[in-house]
Chains A and B, each alone.
Chain A
Amino acid sequence: MTRAADIRFEHVVKRFGAATAVRDVSFHIPAGELCTLLGPSGCGKTTILRMVAGLEYPTEGRVLIGGRDVSTLPPAERDVSMVFQSYALFPHMTVLENVSYGLAVSGKPKRAAAEAARAALASVGLAGFDARLPSELSGGQQQRVAVARALVLEPSVLLFDEPLSNLDARLRRHMREEIRELQQRLGVTALYVTHDQSEALAISDRIIVMNNAVIAQEGTPSSLYQAPRSAFVAGFIGDANRLPARLRRIDADQAEVTLGRAVLRLPHYGRADGDVELALRPEAVRLTTEDDPEAALTGSVAKAAYLGGTMEYTLATEAGEIFVTAPSAAGQHAPGQRLGIALAGHGIAVLAE
Chain B
Amino acid sequence: MRAAGIAGAAVALIAALFFPWYLAQDGVLTALREIPGWWREADFAPAVLQASSQGRWWLWPAVLAPLAALIAGVAPLPRRARATGFLVAGGAGLALLVVQGLAIGVQGWAWPGLESVFGVLDDRQYGIGWGGSLVAMGLALTASAGLAGRGAFRGDAFTAGCATAIGIGVLLFTFLPLAALLGDAFRDAGGALSPLAAVTRLADDRLWGLGCLAGGPRCGVVWNTLLVATLVGFGTTVLGLAFALLVTRGRLGVALAKPLRWLTVLPIVTPPFILGLGLILIFGRSGVVSQLAADWFGLELGRWIYGLPGILLAQLFAFTPIAFLVLIGVVEGLSPTLEEAASMLRASPEKIFRTVTLPLLMPGLANAFLLGFIESIADFGNAVVLGGSFNVLATEIFFAVVGAQADPGRAATLSLVLLLIACLVFVIQQRLTGGRKSFVSIGGKGDGGLPPALPPRLRRLCLGLALPWAGLTIGLYVLAVSGAFVEIWGRDNTPTLRHLAKAFDFEWTQGLQLTGLAWNSVLTTLELAAIAAPITAGFGILAAWLFSRAKFAGRGLLEFATLLSFAVPGTVIGVAYLRAFNLPPLELAGTGAIIVVCFIFRNLPVGLRSGMAAMAQIDRSLDEASSTLGGNGLDAFRRVLMPLLRPAIIAGLTYAFVRAMTTISAVIFLVTAETELATVFIVNRVINGDYGLAIAVAVVLIVLMLAVLGLAQLAVGRRRIGRRAAIPLSTEPGAAA
Judged by a CB distance under 8 angstroms, whether B81 is at the interface is no
Binary interface encoding of chain A residues 66-83 relative to chain B, with 1 for a CB under 8 A from any of its CBs, else 0: 000000111111001110
Q: Quick check: A89 and B644 within 8 Å, CB to CB?
A: no
* B626 sits at the interface (CB 8 A): yes
| Residues in B whose Cβ lies below 8 Å from that of A93 | 643
B444 engages A82 (CB within 8 Å): no
Is B721 a contact partner of A133 (Cβ separation < 8 A)? yes
Bound CA–CA A159/B627 (angstroms): 13
Q: Are A76 and B445 in contact (CB under 8 A)?
A: no
Of residues 58 to 101 in B, which have CB atoms within 8 Å of A's CB atoms?
Answer: none
Contact A75 B627 (CB under 8 A): yes
Encoded as 1 (CB less than 8 Å from any B CB) or 0, chain A from 225 to 251 comes to 000000000000000000000000000
B448 at the interface (CB under 8 A from A): yes
Dominant secondary structure at the B interface = loop
CB distance from A110 to the nearest CB of B (A): 13
Q: Given the complex, which residues of B lie within 8 Å of A133, measured CB to CB?
A: 446, 720-722
User: Interface residues of B, CB < 8 Å — how many?
Assistant: 33
A62 beta carbon closer than 8 Å to chain B: no
Among A53, A81, A86, A153, residue most surrounded by chain B Cβ atoms (within 10 Å): A86
- In B435-473, the 8 Å CB interface with A consists of 442-448
Q: Give the residues in chain B near A166, CB-CB below 8 Å.
A: 445
Complex contacts, B445 vs chain A, CB 8 Å: 86-87, 89, 134, 139, 142, 166
Residue B43 interfacial (CB < 8 Å): no
Residue of B nearest to A138 (CB): B446
Whether, in the assembled complex, B151 has its beta carbon less than 8 Å from a beta carbon of chain A, the answer is yes
A153→B448 contact, CB < 8 A: no
Interchain CA distance A137-B445 in the complex, whole Å: 10
Find out whether the CB atom of B629 lies under 8 angstroms from the CB atom of A91. no
Residue B205 is within 8 A (CB to CB) of chain A in the complex: no
Least Cβ–Cβ distance between A101 and chain B, in angstroms: 6
Minimum CB–CB distance from B439 to chain A (whole Å) comes to 15
Distance (whole angstroms) from the CB of A315 to the closest CB of chain B: 43
Does B624 make an interface contact (CB < 8 A)? yes
Q: Is the CB of B444 within 8 A of A86?
A: yes
**A102 CA / B632 CA spacing, docked (Å):** 11
A53 to chain B, nearest CB (A): 5
Task: Give the distance in Å from the alpha carbon of A87 to the alpha carbon of B625 in the complex.
Answer: 8
B538 within 8 A of A: no
User: A105 and B154 in contact (CB under 8 A), knowing A86-B621, A136-B446?
Assistant: no
Residues of B within 8 A of A53 (CB): 624, 628
Q: Which residues of B contact A313 (CB under 8 A)?
A: none
B443 touches A153 (CB 8 A): no
> Considering the chains assembled together, what is the distance between the CA atoms of A57 and B155 in angstroms?
12
Assembled-state Cα–Cα distance A149/B719 (Å) = 23
Chain B minimum-CB-distance residue to A159:
B628
**Is A264's CB within 8 Å of the partner chain B?**
no
Check: B639 CB closer than 8 A to any chain A CB.
Answer: yes
CB neighbors of A among B603-660 (8 A): 619, 621-622, 624-632, 635, 639-640, 643-644
Q: B124: CB under 8 A from chain A?
A: no
Interface size on A, residues (CB 8 A): 40
Query: Does any Cβ of A come within 8 Å of B676's Cβ?
Result: no
Does the CB pair A82–B628 fall under 8 Å? yes
In the complex, which residues of chain A have a beta carbon less than 8 angstroms from the beta carbon of B622?
88, 90
A86 to B618, CA, bound (A): 13
CB pair A74 B723 closer than 8 Å = no
Residues of A contacting B639 in the complex (Cβ-Cβ under 8 angstroms) = 90, 101, 104-105
With an 8 A cutoff between CB atoms, is B559 at the interface? no
Q: How far is the CA of A54 from the CA of B723 in the complex (A)?
A: 32
Which residues does chain B contribute within 8 Å of A137, judged by CB atoms?
A: 446
Central interface residue in A89, A139, A149, by most chain B CB within 10 Å: A89
Structural contact, A92 and B643, CB atoms closer than 8 A: yes
Q: Is B375 located at the chain interface by the 8 A CB criterion?
A: no
CA distance A75 to B639 in the complex (A): 17
Interface centre among A85, A105, A166 (most CB of B within 10 A): A105
> Which residues of the other chain, A, contact B719 by a CB distance below 8 angstroms?
92
Q: Is A55 an interface residue (CB 8 A)?
A: yes
Asked if B720 contacts A92 (CB within 8 A), the reply is: yes
Residues in chain A near residue B151, CB distance under 8 A: 72
B156 at the interface (CB under 8 A from A): yes
Q: Which residue of the partner chain, among A73, A101, A135, contacts B447 with CB atoms under 8 Å?
A: A135
Query: What is the distance, in angstroms, from A267's C-beta to the closest C-beta of chain B?
Result: 41
Inter-chain CA distance A104–B630, complex, in Å, is 10
Contact B156 A90 (CB under 8 A): no
* Contact of B155 with A72 in the complex, beta carbons under 8 Å: yes
State A80–B625 Cα separation when bound (angstroms). Answer: 11
**A269 interfacial by beta-carbon distance below 8 Å:** no
CA distance A86 to B626 in the complex (A): 14
B721 in complex: contacting residue of A92, A101, A142, CB < 8 Å: A92
- Taken together as a complex, chains A and B put the C-alpha atoms of A42 and B218 apart, in Å, by 59
Complex Cα–Cα for A146 and B631 (A): 16
Q: Is the CB of B632 within 8 A of A135?
A: no
Query: B624: which A residues are within 8 A, CB to CB?
Result: 53, 55, 75, 82, 84, 88
A76→B630 contact, CB < 8 A: yes
What mask results when residues 141 to 152 of chain B are scored 1 for a CB within 8 Å of chain A, else 0?
A: 000000000010
Q: Give A75 to B623 CA distance when docked, in angstroms.
A: 11
For B446, B643, B720, which residue has the most chain A Cβ atoms within 10 angstroms? B446
Docked-complex contact A134 and B722, CB < 8 angstroms:
yes
| A75–B721 touching, CB < 8 Å | no
* Minimal beta-carbon separation of A217 from chain B (angstroms): 29
- Let me know if B721 and A105 touch, CB within 8 A: no
Q: Are A89 and B444 in contact (CB under 8 A)?
A: yes
Contact B630 A106 (CB under 8 A): yes
Q: How far is the CB of B152 from chain A (nearest CB, A)?
A: 11
How long is the Cα–Cα vector from A77 to B446 in the complex, in angstroms? 29
Shortest A131–chain B CB gap in Å is 12
Q: Hey, which chain B residues are within 8 Å of A91, CB to CB?
A: 442, 444, 446-447, 644, 721-722
Q: Which of A73, A80, A86, A136 contacts B619 (CB 8 A)?
A: A86
If the complex has contacts A86-B619, A89-B444, are A74 and B154 also in contact, measured as CB distance less than 8 A? yes
Are B446 and A101 touching (Cβ within 8 A)?
no
Report the bound CA distance from A288 to B635 in whole Å. 68
Once the chains bind, are B619 and A135 in contact (CB under 8 Å)? Answer: no
Q: Shortest CB–CB separation between residue A161 and chain B, in angstroms?
A: 9
Contacts of B446 in A (CB 8 A): 89, 91, 133-137, 142
Residues of B within 8 A of A57 (CB): 154
Q: Let me know if B721 and A73 touch, CB within 8 A.
A: no
Alpha-carbon distance between A93 and B644 when the two chains are bound, in angstroms: 10
Nearest-CB residue, chain B, relative to A107: B630
| Interface pair A76/B722, CB less than 8 Å apart | no
B448 and A135 contact, CB distance less than 8 A: yes
Shortest beta-carbon distance, A77 to chain B, in Å? 7
Contact among B155, B629, B635, B723 for A153, CB-based, below 8 A: B629
* Contact partners of A135 in chain B: CB under 8 A: 446-448, 721-723
Closest to A137 in B: B446
B628 touches A75 (CB 8 A): yes
Residues of A within 8 A of B720 (CB): 92, 133
Q: Which of B447, B631, B722, B723 contacts A105 (CB 8 A)?
A: B631
Asked if A81 and B627 sit within 8 Å, CB to CB, the answer is: no
CB neighbors of A among B134-179 (8 A): 151, 154-156
Q: Do A84 and B625 have beta carbons less than 8 Å apart?
A: yes
Q: Is the CB of A77 within 8 A of B155?
A: yes
CB-CB under 8 A from A76, the residues of chain B are 627, 630-632
4 nearest A-B pairs in the assembled complex, by CB-CB distance: A135-B446, A88-B444, A102-B629, A135-B722
28 contacts between A and B (CB under 8 A): A53-B628, A73-B155, A74-B627, A75-B627, A75-B630, A77-B155, A80-B628, A84-B621, A86-B443, A87-B445, A89-B444, A90-B626, A90-B639, A92-B721, A101-B629, A102-B630, A105-B629, A105-B630, A105-B631, A105-B635, A134-B445, A134-B446, A134-B722, A135-B446, A135-B722, A139-B445, A142-B445, A166-B445
- Contacts A90-B639, A133-B720, A135-B721 supplied; 9 other A-B pairs, CB < 8 Å: A53-B628, A57-B154, A76-B632, A81-B629, A84-B625, A91-B721, A92-B719, A93-B643, A105-B639
Q: Which residues of B come within 8 Å of A, CB atoms?
A: 151, 154-156, 442-448, 619, 621-622, 624-632, 635, 639-640, 643-644, 719-723
